[in-house]
Amino acid sequence: MEATDVLALLADKLGINEEVSRTAQELKFEDLVSYLDWLVQHDFNRLVAILYRIDVNEDKARERLAESQGKHTPGYVIACLLLEREREKIAFRAKYSSNRQDKE
């Protein structure tokens, strides 16, 4: 799955299609980063809810945020974590759906 497909899937799950002036397919990584940076500053509770909904590991998030201090914005780090987690879930589903088909 390409990065744009993962971004579109993530935008759908987060419900930010309406908040971004473009469609999910046109959503760019920078838009996601900006949105997450905005959430860090203005709606932290919603950000936490998103992290739980996407199932981002809390310890991994803290570690990556601490490592990247001064290098990247929190939104950038969180966007990377969200995309990484979505890719893991896609790979997991693909692996186990192909295992089921092989058994049939």
pTM of the shown model? 0.70
3-state secondary structure the chain: CCHHHHHHHHHHHHCCCCCCCCCHHHCCHHHHHHHHHHHHHHCHHHHHHHHHHHCCCHHHHHHHHHHCCCCCCHHHHHHHHHHHHHHHHHHHHHHHHHHHHHHC
Residues 29-83: tens digit of each pLDDT: 888 999 999 999 999 999 999 999 999 998 999 999 999 998 999 999 999 999 9
The average pLDDT across 9-32 equals 66
Which range marks the domain in which residue 40 is found?
3-103
Tell which residue, 19, 40, 29, has the closest CA to residue 82: 29
Query: What does the pLDDT read at residue 9?
Result: 77
Number of domains in the chain: 1
